[in-house]
Amino acid sequence: MNAATVVALLHLCFTATAALSREDSSPTKIRAEPGDTVELTCCPVGVTPSSATWSKNGTEIRFPSPSRMSLLAEGTLEISQVTLEDAGIYLCTCTLPRESSQTQVLLQVGRVPPTHPDCSLAPSSDPTHAVFNCSWFGVLPLPTLSWSRTGSAQVTASVTDSLFLTLNASQLSDGETATCTAQHDLLKPEQRSCSLTLRSPYPQGEPLAATLEGSSINLTCTETSSFPAADTTWRKGPQQELIQPGSKYVLSGTGPSFQLTILNVSKDDEGVYFCRSENPLGVRELEVSLTVKAANSAYTGAIIGVFIAVLILGSVGIVAKMVYFNRHRFCLDGGFTQMEENGGEVLSLVDSDDEQFFQDAVPQLPPISNDHHTTLVQIHRIPSTEQDDVEKNDAKTQPPEDTEENTEEVEDLVVF
């Protein structure tokens, strides 16, 4: 075997190995959105092939093609105005003067927005059922959406851009989370999702209210925690009769604050009212107790309050007056004075500790046989009664008596 034959065999083996490796390798992925123009390369850049053939999903494409496909000089396949139907696996065989090769291309046609799917509640005519909706619009081709719930192995899935999930009250629990997961070929292995957490209703407000007859009053409750949103109504009495709007009642508020206005309140309106909230997870109520008072009770209370205030002020005035007119009794009391009922005379007594002081200040009589000093103390007469005034007037009209008798009435002797 000559050298030329050996070189030819080696070249043939190398070409076959290269073609096999190119054919077995994973395909090149190209992504395009509907309306784009794409070019699928077959032969090496800068090389003009002897021939180039293309097939899609195992079916040969013949040129000139009546469709939007055309074969360029370098063996490149050009597709204009790409549609979803153009997606697939394309295989090109490039034949050169001395070798041939195959190229595999995966064309993915679609659109995936940067957003996540949207989870929401759909309207339901049955208050005991909850309808959840997961939607992801603008995705091409359609994604695969699936609903799942915590604590449940049940999964609802479908290839669509909007998936509904309907659950009854027995399938729901407070705090449970429902999750929607979106999958798409252009996102693999990535996933996108959204979720909803279920909550029981909990109305809140003031439990006590009071008003006067003839007036109006507003009862208010607030409910913000429920999911799905609760249906809130006002009811009255132990039988919880549904309150309808009319000339007596005015209902306002669509959430989260609900208000009941009672017009021209009477004694018959007194009682218990209920703010009742219900969703598929349960029912809860806020109890409001209304007290209605007579209109004149307010004035009666005011009059009583004024009377008590006047009574207190009058008592304080009387006590102050009594203290003022008897101030000498409070000042001289404590053992130093003594009132005598006859004539209202005041007898001033001196304690033993102060005896020397008074002995120096008061004239003394000569000592007597018992060696005690006799101190002269003047008796002051206090005109405390009308009888004293009469006696004074009589004394003025009567002629003066002997001087000795007058002197005896003026002074008395007291022995210490």
CB atoms under 10 Å from CB of 22, counted, come to: 14
Q: Is 93 exposed, middle or buried (0-12, 13-18, 19+ CB in 10 A)?
A: buried
> Would you write out the chain's pLDDT as a tens digit for each of its 416 residues?
444 343 333 343 434 334 433 444 688 999 999 999 999 999 888 888 888 999 999 999 998 887 899 999 889 999 999 999 999 999 999 998 888 889 999 999 999 999 999 999 988 888 788 899 999 999 999 999 999 998 888 899 999 999 999 999 888 899 999 999 999 989 988 999 999 999 999 999 999 999 999 999 999 999 998 998 899 999 999 999 999 999 999 999 877 899 999 999 999 999 999 999 998 999 999 999 999 998 765 556 666 777 788 888 888 878 887 877 776 665 655 444 444 444 444 444 444 444 444 445 445 545 544 454 444 444 444 444 455 554 555 554 454 444 444 444 434 444 43
Q: Could you tell me the CA-to-CA distances from 363 to 352, 370, 376, 377, 409 in Å, in that order? A: 18, 19, 6, 9, 18
- Find out whether the peptide bond into 64 is cis, omega within 30 degrees of 0: yes
What contacts 250, CB < 8 A, 6 or more positions away? 260, 261, 263
* Per-residue pLDDT at 188: 86
Query: Domain 118-197: which topology?
Result: Immunoglobulin-like (2.60.40)
Q: Are 207 and 231 in contact (CB under 8 A)?
A: no
Assessment of whether the complete model's pTM goes beyond 0.75:
no
List, as one string, the DSSP characters of 307-366: HHHHHHHHHHHHHHHHHHHTHHHHHH-SSS--B-TTTTEE-----GGGHHHHHHHS-EEP
Determine the 3-state secondary structure of 84 from DSSP. helix
Determine the 3-state secondary structure of 169 from DSSP. helix
* Per-residue pLDDT at 301: 60
Query: CA 412: distance to chain centroid?
Result: 93
In the chain, the amino acid numbered 202 is Y
* Per-residue pLDDT at 47: 82
Domain boundaries, the chain: 3-109, 118-197, 205-293, 296-325, 332-415
**205-293: same fold as 3-109?**
yes
Does domain 205-293 sit in CATH 3.40.50.920?
no
Q: Which of 154, 136, 147 is nearest to 178 (CA)?
A: 147
Give the span between the Cα atoms of 76 and 52, in whole angstroms. 8
- Find out whether the peptide bond into 280 is cis, omega within 30 degrees of 0: no
Architecture of domain 3-109: Sandwich (2.60)
Cross-strand bridge partners of residue 55:
60, 91
What contacts 415, CB < 8 A, 6 or more positions away? 372, 374, 375
* Per-residue pLDDT at 87: 94
